[in-house]
Protein backbone atom coordinates (compact mmCIF):
# COMPACT_ATOMS: atom_id res chain seq x y z
CA UNK A 1 0.00 0.00 0.00
CA UNK A 2 1.42 3.42 -0.90
CA UNK A 3 0.35 4.94 2.41
CA UNK A 4 1.86 2.36 4.76
CA UNK A 5 5.18 4.15 4.95
CA UNK A 6 3.48 7.41 5.81
CA UNK A 7 1.67 5.70 8.66
CA UNK A 8 4.88 4.26 10.10
CA UNK A 9 6.76 7.52 9.81
CA UNK A 10 3.95 9.31 11.59
CA UNK A 11 4.11 7.07 14.63
CA UNK A 12 7.88 7.02 14.69
CA UNK A 13 8.23 10.77 14.47
CA UNK A 14 5.83 11.24 17.37
CA UNK A 15 7.44 8.53 19.47
CA UNK A 16 10.91 7.23 18.79
CA UNK A 17 12.73 10.29 17.54
CA UNK A 18 11.07 12.66 19.99
CA UNK A 19 11.70 10.40 22.96
CA UNK A 20 15.35 9.95 22.05
CA UNK A 21 16.24 13.59 22.54
CA UNK A 22 13.34 15.27 24.31
CA UNK A 23 11.65 18.40 23.05
CA UNK A 24 13.18 20.84 25.56
CA UNK A 25 16.66 21.12 27.08
CA UNK A 26 17.77 23.63 29.74
CA UNK A 27 20.81 25.57 28.53
CA UNK A 28 22.46 24.98 31.90
CA UNK A 29 22.80 21.27 31.03
CA UNK A 30 24.75 21.88 27.82
CA UNK A 31 28.49 21.68 27.32
CA UNK A 32 30.51 24.24 25.40
CA UNK A 33 29.74 22.64 22.04
CA UNK A 34 33.30 21.52 21.26
CA UNK A 35 31.75 18.50 19.56
CA UNK A 36 31.21 20.52 16.40
CA UNK A 37 34.95 21.07 15.94
CA UNK A 38 36.03 17.60 17.05
CA UNK A 39 33.80 15.64 14.67
CA UNK A 40 33.84 17.56 11.40
CA UNK A 41 35.58 16.45 8.22
CA UNK A 42 37.86 18.35 5.89
CA UNK A 43 36.51 21.62 4.46
CA UNK A 44 35.19 21.63 0.89
CA UNK A 45 33.91 24.62 -1.14
CA UNK A 46 30.17 25.28 -1.03
CA UNK A 47 27.93 27.83 -2.74
CA UNK A 48 24.40 27.89 -4.15
CA UNK A 49 25.54 27.68 -7.76
CA UNK A 50 27.66 24.60 -7.15
CA UNK A 51 24.79 23.03 -5.19
CA UNK A 52 22.41 23.49 -8.13
CA UNK A 53 25.00 22.00 -10.45
CA UNK A 54 25.40 18.99 -8.14
CA UNK A 55 21.63 18.36 -8.29
CA UNK A 56 21.67 18.62 -12.09
CA UNK A 57 24.64 16.25 -12.36
CA UNK A 58 22.97 13.77 -10.02
CA UNK A 59 19.91 13.70 -12.31
CA UNK A 60 22.11 12.37 -15.11
CA UNK A 61 23.06 9.31 -13.08
CA UNK A 62 20.85 6.32 -12.21
CA UNK A 63 18.90 6.61 -8.96
CA UNK A 64 20.46 5.00 -5.87
CA UNK A 65 18.38 4.86 -2.68
CA UNK A 66 21.54 4.17 -0.61
CA UNK A 67 19.74 1.68 1.61
CA UNK A 68 22.61 -0.78 1.26
CA UNK A 69 24.66 1.71 3.31
CA UNK A 70 22.39 1.14 6.32
CA UNK A 71 23.57 -1.84 8.39
CA UNK A 72 21.06 -4.68 8.32
CA UNK A 73 20.91 -4.72 12.13
CA UNK A 74 19.66 -1.12 12.10
CA UNK A 75 17.12 -1.82 9.36
CA UNK A 76 15.69 -4.65 11.47
CA UNK A 77 15.84 -2.69 14.72
CA UNK A 78 12.63 -2.41 16.70
CA UNK A 79 11.00 0.63 18.25
CA UNK A 80 12.34 0.04 21.78
CA UNK A 81 15.93 -0.39 20.60
CA UNK A 82 15.76 2.76 18.51
CA UNK A 83 14.51 4.73 21.49
CA UNK A 84 17.43 3.42 23.54
CA UNK A 85 20.03 5.14 21.34
CA UNK A 86 20.56 8.40 23.21
CA UNK A 87 22.82 11.40 22.58
CA UNK A 88 25.91 11.74 24.68
CA UNK A 89 27.22 14.89 26.31
CA UNK A 90 27.80 17.71 23.88
CA UNK A 91 24.46 17.49 22.10
CA UNK A 92 22.82 19.65 20.97
CA UNK A 93 25.64 21.65 19.39
CA UNK A 94 25.43 25.42 18.84
CA UNK A 95 25.21 26.58 15.24
CA UNK A 96 25.74 30.31 15.70
CA UNK A 97 28.36 32.34 17.59
CA UNK A 98 25.61 33.82 19.75
CA UNK A 99 24.36 30.30 20.52
CA UNK A 100 20.85 31.22 19.35
CA UNK A 101 20.41 28.04 17.29
CA UNK A 102 21.36 24.45 18.12
CA UNK A 103 21.11 21.14 16.28
CA UNK A 104 21.05 17.39 17.06
CA UNK A 105 21.95 14.69 14.53
CA UNK A 106 19.58 11.70 14.48
CA UNK A 107 20.80 8.16 13.90
CA UNK A 108 19.43 5.73 11.35
CA UNK A 109 17.49 2.63 12.30
CA UNK A 110 13.94 1.33 12.80
CA UNK A 111 11.85 2.87 9.95
CA UNK A 112 14.57 5.42 9.08
CA UNK A 113 16.48 3.24 6.64
CA UNK A 114 17.92 5.81 4.23
CA UNK A 115 21.24 7.32 5.34
CA UNK A 116 21.83 11.04 4.94
CA UNK A 117 24.96 13.15 4.92
CA UNK A 118 25.02 16.29 7.06
CA UNK A 119 27.39 19.18 6.43
CA UNK A 120 27.86 22.40 8.39
CA UNK A 121 28.55 25.42 6.18
CA UNK A 122 30.53 28.50 7.18
CA UNK A 123 32.43 31.08 5.18
CA UNK A 124 31.95 29.40 1.81
CA UNK A 125 33.13 26.00 2.97
CA UNK A 126 31.27 22.90 4.15
CA UNK A 127 32.49 20.27 6.61
CA UNK A 128 30.84 16.87 6.92
CA UNK A 129 29.58 15.70 10.31
CA UNK A 130 31.42 12.46 11.04
CA UNK A 131 29.98 9.81 13.37
CA UNK A 132 31.89 8.85 16.48
CA UNK A 133 30.57 6.30 18.95
CA UNK A 134 31.38 8.57 21.90
CA UNK A 135 28.73 10.97 20.61
CA UNK A 136 25.94 8.61 21.71
CA UNK A 137 24.89 6.33 24.54
CA UNK A 138 23.40 2.92 23.74
CA UNK A 139 21.16 1.64 26.51
CA UNK A 140 19.53 -1.81 26.54
CA UNK A 141 18.23 -3.22 24.27
CA UNK A 142 20.16 -1.09 21.74
CA UNK A 143 23.52 -2.12 23.21
CA UNK A 144 23.08 -5.70 21.99
CA UNK A 145 21.84 -4.94 18.46
CA UNK A 146 23.84 -1.88 17.36
CA UNK A 147 26.80 -3.01 15.24
CA UNK A 148 30.37 -1.87 15.67
CA UNK A 149 31.80 0.76 13.39
CA UNK A 150 30.36 3.92 11.93
CA UNK A 151 26.60 4.41 12.04
CA UNK A 152 24.74 6.54 9.49
CA UNK A 153 22.66 9.58 10.31
CA UNK A 154 19.00 9.78 9.26
CA UNK A 155 18.21 13.44 9.89
CA UNK A 156 18.47 16.24 12.41
CA UNK A 157 16.46 18.57 14.58
CA UNK A 158 16.81 22.32 15.25
CA UNK A 159 16.38 24.07 18.59
CA UNK A 160 16.10 27.62 19.90
CA UNK A 161 14.75 29.47 22.94
CA UNK A 162 11.23 29.37 21.54
CA UNK A 163 9.00 29.50 24.64
CA UNK A 164 11.16 30.40 27.64
CA UNK A 165 14.51 32.08 28.13
CA UNK A 166 17.20 29.60 29.09
CA UNK A 167 15.35 26.58 27.65
CA UNK A 168 16.03 25.18 24.19
CA UNK A 169 12.87 23.97 22.48
CA UNK A 170 12.82 21.91 19.34
CA UNK A 171 11.14 23.89 16.55
CA UNK A 172 11.88 21.80 13.45
CA UNK A 173 12.94 18.29 12.48
CA UNK A 174 14.01 16.74 9.17
CA UNK A 175 13.83 12.94 9.16
CA UNK A 176 12.43 10.23 6.91
CA UNK A 177 12.10 10.54 3.10
CA UNK A 178 11.59 14.29 2.44
CA UNK A 179 9.48 14.87 5.56
CA UNK A 180 9.99 17.88 7.81
CA UNK A 181 7.90 19.45 10.55
CA UNK A 182 7.95 22.73 12.45
CA UNK A 183 6.05 24.42 15.25
CA UNK A 184 5.58 27.93 16.56
CA UNK A 185 5.45 29.13 20.13
CA UNK A 186 3.31 27.00 22.53
CA UNK A 187 2.61 24.43 19.82
CA UNK A 188 3.27 20.68 19.62
CA UNK A 189 4.06 18.61 16.54
CA UNK A 190 1.14 17.58 14.37
CA UNK A 191 1.04 17.50 10.59
CA UNK A 192 4.14 17.09 8.42
CA UNK A 193 5.38 18.82 5.29
CA UNK A 194 7.29 17.09 2.53
CA UNK A 195 9.70 18.27 -0.10
CA UNK A 196 7.72 16.66 -2.90
CA UNK A 197 4.89 14.19 -3.58
CA UNK A 198 5.00 11.96 -6.68
CA UNK A 199 2.28 9.59 -7.90
CA UNK A 200 0.22 9.86 -4.71
CA UNK A 201 -2.77 7.55 -4.93
CA UNK A 202 -1.75 6.13 -8.31
CA UNK A 203 -2.31 2.41 -9.06
CA UNK A 204 1.41 1.79 -9.63
CA UNK A 205 2.24 3.07 -6.14
CA UNK A 206 3.49 6.29 -4.65
CA UNK A 207 7.10 7.36 -5.09
CA UNK A 208 8.79 8.80 -2.02
CA UNK A 209 11.62 11.22 -2.86
CA UNK A 210 14.14 11.64 -0.06
CA UNK A 211 16.63 14.24 1.10
CA UNK A 212 20.00 12.51 0.78
CA UNK A 213 22.29 15.39 1.81
CA UNK A 214 21.82 18.42 4.05
CA UNK A 215 24.01 21.52 4.19
CA UNK A 216 23.19 23.58 7.29
CA UNK A 217 24.50 27.14 7.24
CA UNK A 218 25.97 28.32 10.53
CA UNK A 219 24.10 31.63 11.14
CA UNK A 220 25.79 34.89 12.00
CA UNK A 221 25.58 36.10 15.60
CA UNK A 222 22.63 38.41 14.89
CA UNK A 223 20.79 36.02 12.55
CA UNK A 224 17.12 35.28 13.19
CA UNK A 225 16.95 32.33 10.80
CA UNK A 226 18.67 29.06 9.90
CA UNK A 227 19.23 28.14 6.25
CA UNK A 228 19.20 24.47 5.22
CA UNK A 229 20.15 23.30 1.72
CA UNK A 230 18.69 19.87 0.97
CA UNK A 231 19.57 17.64 -1.98
CA UNK A 232 16.52 15.62 -3.04
CA UNK A 233 16.65 12.38 -5.01
CA UNK A 234 14.14 9.86 -6.40
CA UNK A 235 13.70 7.64 -9.46
CA UNK A 236 11.86 10.49 -11.22
CA UNK A 237 13.84 13.58 -10.28
CA UNK A 238 16.54 15.26 -8.29
CA UNK A 239 16.12 18.64 -6.63
CA UNK A 240 17.98 21.46 -4.92
CA UNK A 241 16.08 22.96 -1.97
CA UNK A 242 16.92 26.06 0.02
CA UNK A 243 14.80 26.12 3.20
CA UNK A 244 15.00 29.12 5.52
CA UNK A 245 13.53 28.61 9.00
CA UNK A 246 12.55 31.50 11.31
CA UNK A 247 11.27 30.31 14.69
CA UNK A 248 8.89 32.51 16.65
CA UNK A 249 5.27 33.06 17.61
CA UNK A 250 4.67 31.61 14.17
CA UNK A 251 7.57 29.66 12.70
CA UNK A 252 8.14 30.51 9.05
CA UNK A 253 9.80 28.26 6.50
CA UNK A 254 10.66 29.69 3.10
CA UNK A 255 11.15 26.99 0.47
CA UNK A 256 12.98 27.62 -2.80
CA UNK A 257 13.26 24.55 -5.02
CA UNK A 258 14.58 23.61 -8.42
CA UNK A 259 13.87 20.16 -9.84
CA UNK A 260 15.94 18.37 -12.49
CA UNK A 261 13.56 15.64 -13.73
CA UNK A 262 15.01 12.32 -14.89
CA UNK A 263 11.72 11.48 -16.59
CA UNK A 264 8.31 12.99 -17.29
CA UNK A 265 6.22 13.14 -14.11
CA UNK A 266 2.50 12.69 -14.59
CA UNK A 267 1.26 13.26 -11.03
CA UNK A 268 3.25 15.63 -8.83
CA UNK A 269 2.43 17.60 -5.70
CA UNK A 270 4.19 20.72 -4.46
CA UNK A 271 4.03 22.00 -0.89
CA UNK A 272 2.56 18.66 0.22
CA UNK A 273 1.26 18.02 3.73
CA UNK A 274 0.39 14.79 5.52
CA UNK A 275 -1.99 14.95 8.47
CA UNK A 276 -4.47 12.93 10.52
CA UNK A 277 -8.23 13.21 10.82
CA UNK A 278 -10.08 10.49 12.74
CA UNK A 279 -13.36 12.04 13.87
CA UNK A 280 -15.21 15.17 14.99
CA UNK A 281 -18.89 16.20 15.19
CA UNK A 282 -19.58 15.02 11.64
CA UNK A 283 -18.71 11.34 12.25
CA UNK A 284 -18.48 11.04 16.04
CA UNK A 285 -21.06 8.23 16.17
CA UNK A 286 -18.72 5.84 14.31
CA UNK A 287 -16.15 5.78 17.13
CA UNK A 288 -16.49 4.41 20.64
CA UNK A 289 -14.18 6.95 22.23
CA UNK A 290 -14.32 9.18 25.31
CA UNK A 291 -13.07 12.19 23.37
CA UNK A 292 -15.21 14.58 21.33
CA UNK A 293 -12.71 14.93 18.48
CA UNK A 294 -9.38 13.45 17.38
CA UNK A 295 -7.47 15.17 14.58
CA UNK A 296 -4.24 17.00 13.78
CA UNK A 297 -6.14 19.07 11.20
CA UNK A 298 -9.87 19.63 10.83
CA UNK A 299 -10.23 21.38 7.52
CA UNK A 300 -8.68 22.41 4.22
CA UNK A 301 -8.70 26.17 3.71
CA UNK A 302 -8.08 27.78 0.33
CA UNK A 303 -7.77 31.48 -0.50
CA UNK A 304 -8.32 31.35 -4.24
CA UNK A 305 -6.80 33.54 -6.91
CA UNK A 306 -10.29 35.05 -7.35
CA UNK A 307 -10.29 36.20 -3.73
CA UNK A 308 -12.78 33.61 -2.46
CA UNK A 309 -12.24 31.79 0.83
CA UNK A 310 -13.13 28.10 0.74
CA UNK A 311 -13.53 25.84 3.76
CA UNK A 312 -13.70 22.08 3.31
CA UNK A 313 -14.17 20.10 6.57
CA UNK A 314 -12.03 16.98 6.49
CA UNK A 315 -13.60 13.52 6.40
CA UNK A 316 -12.64 9.98 7.33
CA UNK A 317 -14.50 8.21 4.54
CA UNK A 318 -15.44 4.58 4.03
CA UNK A 319 -13.56 4.62 0.71
CA UNK A 320 -10.67 6.69 -0.59
CA UNK A 321 -11.79 10.17 -1.64
CA UNK A 322 -9.86 12.47 -3.95
CA UNK A 323 -10.91 16.08 -4.54
CA UNK A 324 -9.35 18.70 -6.79
CA UNK A 325 -10.06 22.41 -6.29
CA UNK A 326 -9.10 24.05 -9.59
CA UNK A 327 -7.57 27.50 -9.33
CA UNK A 328 -5.19 29.94 -11.00
CA UNK A 329 -2.46 31.74 -9.06
CA UNK A 330 -3.82 30.83 -5.60
CA UNK A 331 -3.34 33.26 -2.73
CA UNK A 332 -2.81 30.42 -0.27
CA UNK A 333 -3.96 27.09 1.08
CA UNK A 334 -3.35 24.90 4.08
CA UNK A 335 -4.52 22.28 6.53
CA UNK A 336 -6.03 24.09 9.51
CA UNK A 337 -6.66 23.22 13.14
CA UNK A 338 -9.38 25.65 14.28
CA UNK A 339 -10.52 24.18 17.60
CA UNK A 340 -8.12 25.67 20.15
CA UNK A 341 -9.63 24.73 23.50
CA UNK A 342 -8.69 21.70 25.58
CA UNK A 343 -12.37 20.93 26.14
CA UNK A 344 -12.79 20.39 22.38
CA UNK A 345 -10.73 17.19 22.68
CA UNK A 346 -10.31 16.35 26.39
CA UNK A 347 -7.00 14.60 25.63
CA UNK A 348 -4.46 15.54 28.29
CA UNK A 349 -1.66 13.66 26.55
CA UNK A 350 -2.05 14.33 22.82
CA UNK A 351 -3.13 17.98 23.33
CA UNK A 352 -4.64 18.28 19.88
CA UNK A 353 -5.62 21.88 20.58
CA UNK A 354 -1.92 22.79 20.34
CA UNK A 355 -1.30 21.21 16.93
CA UNK A 356 -0.24 23.78 14.33
CA UNK A 357 -1.97 24.99 11.22
CA UNK A 358 0.32 24.87 8.18
CA UNK A 359 -0.45 27.54 5.62
CA UNK A 360 1.22 27.85 2.21
CA UNK A 361 1.79 31.33 0.83
CA UNK A 362 2.80 31.04 -2.85
CA UNK A 363 5.64 33.33 -3.94
CA UNK A 364 5.35 34.47 -7.53
CA UNK A 365 2.80 33.41 -10.14
CA UNK A 366 1.99 29.71 -9.78
CA UNK A 367 -0.30 29.76 -12.80
CA UNK A 368 -3.18 27.29 -13.30
CA UNK A 369 -3.49 24.06 -11.36
CA UNK A 370 -5.43 22.61 -8.45
CA UNK A 371 -5.23 22.05 -4.72
CA UNK A 372 -5.63 18.28 -4.42
CA UNK A 373 -6.99 16.60 -1.28
CA UNK A 374 -6.76 12.89 -0.43
CA UNK A 375 -8.95 11.52 2.38
CA UNK A 376 -8.05 7.93 3.26
CA UNK A 377 -10.11 5.61 5.47
CA UNK A 378 -8.53 5.09 8.88
CA UNK A 379 -9.43 3.57 12.24
CA UNK A 380 -6.31 4.66 14.15
CA UNK A 381 -5.04 8.09 15.13
CA UNK A 382 -1.43 6.98 14.46
CA UNK A 383 -2.16 6.93 10.72
CA UNK A 384 -1.67 9.95 8.51
CA UNK A 385 -4.79 9.65 6.34
CA UNK A 386 -4.95 13.19 4.92
CA UNK A 387 -2.76 14.51 2.10
CA UNK A 388 -2.99 17.93 0.45
CA UNK A 389 -0.79 19.63 -2.14
CA UNK A 390 -0.69 21.90 -5.19
CA UNK A 391 -0.60 20.20 -8.58
CA UNK A 392 0.30 22.54 -11.44
CA UNK A 393 -1.37 22.23 -14.81
CA UNK A 394 2.06 22.59 -16.39
CA UNK A 395 3.67 19.23 -17.04
CA UNK A 396 7.00 18.35 -15.46
CA UNK A 397 9.15 17.07 -18.33
CA UNK A 398 12.41 15.17 -18.32
CA UNK A 399 15.48 17.34 -18.77
CA UNK A 400 13.60 20.61 -18.17
CA UNK A 401 14.38 22.28 -14.81
CA UNK A 402 11.34 23.43 -12.84
CA UNK A 403 11.47 26.00 -10.03
CA UNK A 404 8.96 27.07 -7.39
CA UNK A 405 9.03 29.21 -4.26
CA UNK A 406 6.64 29.33 -1.31
CA UNK A 407 6.40 30.14 2.37
CA UNK A 408 4.88 27.92 5.07
CA UNK A 409 3.40 29.55 8.18
CA UNK A 410 3.30 27.15 11.14
CA UNK A 411 0.82 28.91 13.39
CA UNK A 412 -2.59 28.54 15.04
CA UNK A 413 -4.38 30.06 12.03
CA UNK A 414 -3.61 31.33 8.51
CA UNK A 415 -1.87 34.74 8.47
CA UNK A 416 -4.67 36.25 6.35
CA UNK A 417 -7.94 35.21 7.99
CA UNK A 418 -11.18 35.69 6.06
CA UNK A 419 -12.73 39.03 6.95
CA UNK A 420 -16.33 37.88 6.56
CA UNK A 421 -18.30 35.22 8.45
CA UNK A 422 -16.09 32.17 9.04
CA UNK A 423 -17.10 28.52 9.49
CA UNK A 424 -16.23 27.27 12.97
CA UNK A 425 -18.25 24.06 13.15
CA UNK A 426 -20.03 21.52 10.94
CA UNK A 427 -22.50 18.97 12.26
CA UNK A 428 -24.25 16.20 10.37
CA UNK A 429 -26.92 13.66 11.30
CA UNK A 430 -30.52 12.73 10.55
CA UNK A 431 -33.48 15.06 10.84
CA UNK A 432 -36.18 14.76 13.53
CA UNK A 433 -38.17 12.20 11.56
CA UNK A 434 -35.06 10.27 10.55
CA UNK A 435 -36.04 10.64 6.91
CA UNK A 436 -33.45 13.12 5.61
CA UNK A 437 -29.81 14.10 6.09
CA UNK A 438 -29.52 17.17 8.34
CA UNK A 439 -26.59 19.60 8.15
CA UNK A 440 -25.84 22.36 10.64
CA UNK A 441 -23.10 24.92 9.86
CA UNK A 442 -22.03 27.53 12.41
CA UNK A 443 -20.52 30.79 11.16
CA UNK A 444 -18.66 33.17 13.44
CA UNK A 445 -19.76 36.82 13.04
CA UNK A 446 -19.39 40.01 15.01
CA UNK A 447 -21.61 39.79 18.08
CA UNK A 448 -23.17 43.20 17.36
CA UNK A 449 -23.67 42.61 13.61
CA UNK A 450 -27.23 43.22 12.43
CA UNK A 451 -28.12 39.90 10.76
CA UNK A 452 -31.69 40.78 9.83
CA UNK A 453 -30.58 40.99 6.19
CA UNK A 454 -28.78 37.63 6.26
CA UNK A 455 -29.39 35.27 3.36
CA UNK A 456 -28.25 31.66 3.27
CA UNK A 457 -27.41 29.91 0.02
CA UNK A 458 -27.10 26.13 -0.34
CA UNK A 459 -26.42 24.22 -3.56
CA UNK A 460 -26.18 20.49 -4.24
CA UNK A 461 -24.77 18.65 -7.25
CA UNK A 462 -27.60 16.11 -6.99
CA UNK A 463 -30.56 15.26 -4.78
CA UNK A 464 -32.84 17.88 -3.25
CA UNK A 465 -32.10 20.53 -0.62
CA UNK A 466 -34.98 21.46 1.68
CA UNK A 467 -35.78 23.61 4.71
CA UNK A 468 -32.87 26.03 4.50
CA UNK A 469 -32.88 28.20 7.62
CA UNK A 470 -30.50 30.54 9.43
CA UNK A 471 -30.61 32.02 12.92
CA UNK A 472 -28.45 33.22 15.79
CA UNK A 473 -27.62 30.67 18.47
CA UNK A 474 -27.60 31.45 22.22
CA UNK A 475 -23.81 31.72 21.95
CA UNK A 476 -22.95 35.31 20.98
CA UNK A 477 -21.41 35.80 17.57
CA UNK A 478 -22.68 32.54 16.05
CA UNK A 479 -24.93 32.55 12.98
CA UNK A 480 -26.20 29.08 12.09
CA UNK A 481 -27.32 27.61 8.76
CA UNK A 482 -29.28 24.37 8.75
CA UNK A 483 -30.76 22.43 5.86
CA UNK A 484 -31.99 18.97 4.95
CA UNK A 485 -30.72 16.88 2.06
CA UNK A 486 -32.75 14.25 0.24
CA UNK A 487 -30.14 12.17 -1.64
CA UNK A 488 -32.88 10.92 -3.97
CA UNK A 489 -30.95 7.70 -4.63
CA UNK A 490 -27.57 9.31 -5.21
CA UNK A 491 -24.49 7.93 -3.44
CA UNK A 492 -22.23 10.97 -3.66
CA UNK A 493 -23.28 14.63 -3.59
CA UNK A 494 -21.17 17.80 -3.55
CA UNK A 495 -22.60 20.52 -1.30
CA UNK A 496 -21.83 24.22 -1.25
CA UNK A 497 -23.13 26.82 1.22
CA UNK A 498 -22.51 30.43 2.15
CA UNK A 499 -24.21 33.26 3.96
CA UNK A 500 -24.38 36.95 3.07
CA UNK A 501 -25.04 39.82 5.48
CA UNK A 502 -25.31 43.49 4.54
CA UNK A 503 -22.37 45.40 5.94
CA UNK A 504 -20.16 42.31 6.22
CA UNK A 505 -17.50 40.99 3.86
CA UNK A 506 -18.36 37.84 1.88
CA UNK A 507 -18.44 34.71 4.00
CA UNK A 508 -16.29 31.65 3.62
CA UNK A 509 -17.79 29.18 1.18
CA UNK A 510 -18.46 25.86 2.90
CA UNK A 511 -17.83 22.77 0.78
CA UNK A 512 -18.72 19.20 1.68
CA UNK A 513 -18.93 15.81 0.00
CA UNK A 514 -21.79 13.66 1.28
CA UNK A 515 -21.49 9.94 0.60
CA UNK A 516 -24.06 7.30 1.42
Condensed to tens digits (0 to 9), the pLDDT of residues 404-456 reads 999 999 999 988 777 899 999 999 999 988 889 999 999 999 988 899 999 99
Lowest-confidence segment of 50-59, 86-95, 336-345 by average pLDDT = 86-95
Sorting pLDDT into bands at 50, 70 and 90, what band is 27?
low
pLDDT at 31 over 50: no
pLDDT tens, position by position, 452-482: 999 999 999 999 999 999 999 999 999 999 9
- Which ranges in the chain are annotated with CATH 2.60.40.10? 422-515
From the list 358, 351, 334, 341, the residue with the least C-alpha distance to 294 is 351
The Cα–Cα gap between 274 and 193 comes to: 6
| Residues above pLDDT 90, as percent of the chain | 83
In the prediction, which pLDDT does 37 show? 63
9-21: pLDDT as tens digits: 444 444 333 333 3
In sequence order, what are the residues at sequence separation of 6 or more whose Cβ sits closer than 8 angstroms to the Cβ of residue 22?
Answer: none
Instruction: Evaluate if residue 36 carries a pLDDT over 90.
Output: no
Decide if pLDDT at 5 tops 80: no
pLDDT given at position 19: 35
Give the DSSP letter of residue 267: S
Check residue 39 and give its pLDDT: 83
- b (16+ CB within 10 A) / e for 424-435: ebbbbeebeeee
Q: Do residues 179 and 191 make contact, with C-beta atoms less than 8 angstroms apart?
A: no
Judged against a pLDDT cut of 90, whether residue 120 lies above it is answered with yes
State the Cα–Cα distance between residues 401 and 238, nearest whole angstrom. Answer: 10
Q: Where are the beta strands (DSSP E) in 203-298?
A: 210-217, 226-233, 237-246, 251-261, 268-275, 277-279, 294-295
User: Strand pairing partners for 6?
Assistant: none
pLDDT at 163: 95
Class of domain 4-411: mainly beta
For the segment 110-117, the average pLDDT, to the nearest whole number, is 95
Residues forming CATH 2.70.98.10 domain(s) in the chain: 4-411
- At 91 the pLDDT is 86
Average pLDDT of the chain is: 92
Q: Per-residue DSSP letters for 426-469?
A: EEEEE-TTSSSEEEEEEEE--TT---TT-EEEEEESSSEEEEEE
- DSSP E strands, 48-160: 85-87, 93-94, 102-107, 117-122, 125-128, 136-138, 153-160
Contact 448, 430 (CB under 8 A): no
Whether 38 shows a pLDDT value over 90: the answer reads no
Q: How confident is the model at residue 23 (pLDDT cuts 50, 70, 90)?
A: low
| pLDDT at res. 115 | 96
pLDDT tens-digit readout, 237-290: 999 999 999 999 999 999 999 999 999 999 999 999 999 999 999 999 999 999
Higher pLDDT, 8 or 364: 364
**Residue 1 pLDDT more than 60?**
no
Strands 509-515 and 309-313: parallel
pLDDT of residue 419: 86
> Is the pLDDT higher at 474 or at 87?
474
The partner residues of 513 in beta bridges, in order of sequence, read 494
Express as a percent the part of the chain with pLDDT over 70. Answer: 93
Average pLDDT over residues 98-122: 94
Residue among 196, 150, 192, 151 nearest 175 (CA): 192
Mean pLDDT of 80-99: 88
Q: Residue 418 has what pLDDT? A: 77
Q: 17 or 369, which is more confident?
A: 369
pLDDT tens per residue, range 152-180 = 999 999 999 999 999 999 999 999 999 99
Q: Is the pLDDT of residue 129 over 70?
A: yes
Tell me the CATH number for domain 422-515: 2.60.40.10
Cα–Cα distances in Å, from 450 out to 396, 411, 423? 51, 32, 18
On the 0-12 / 13-18 / 19+ scale of CB atoms within 10 A, 166 is exposed
Could you read off the pLDDT of 333-357 as tens digits, one per residue? 999 999 999 999 999 999 999 999 9
Amino acid sequence: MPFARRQVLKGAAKGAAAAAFGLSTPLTLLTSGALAADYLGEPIPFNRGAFLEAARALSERPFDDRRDEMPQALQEMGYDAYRAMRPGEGWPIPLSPAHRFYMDALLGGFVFKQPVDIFLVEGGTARRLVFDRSMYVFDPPADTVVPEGALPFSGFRLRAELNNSGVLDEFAVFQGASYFRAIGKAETYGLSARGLAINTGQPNGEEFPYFRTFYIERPAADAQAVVVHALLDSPSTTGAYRITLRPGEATITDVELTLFPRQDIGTIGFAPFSSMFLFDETNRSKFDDYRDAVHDSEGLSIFTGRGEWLWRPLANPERLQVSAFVDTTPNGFGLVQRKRNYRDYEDAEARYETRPTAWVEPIGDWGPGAVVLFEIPSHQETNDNIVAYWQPEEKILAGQPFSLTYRIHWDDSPPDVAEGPRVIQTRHGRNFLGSQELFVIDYQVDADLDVSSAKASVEASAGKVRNITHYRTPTPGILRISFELDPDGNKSIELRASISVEGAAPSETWLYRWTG
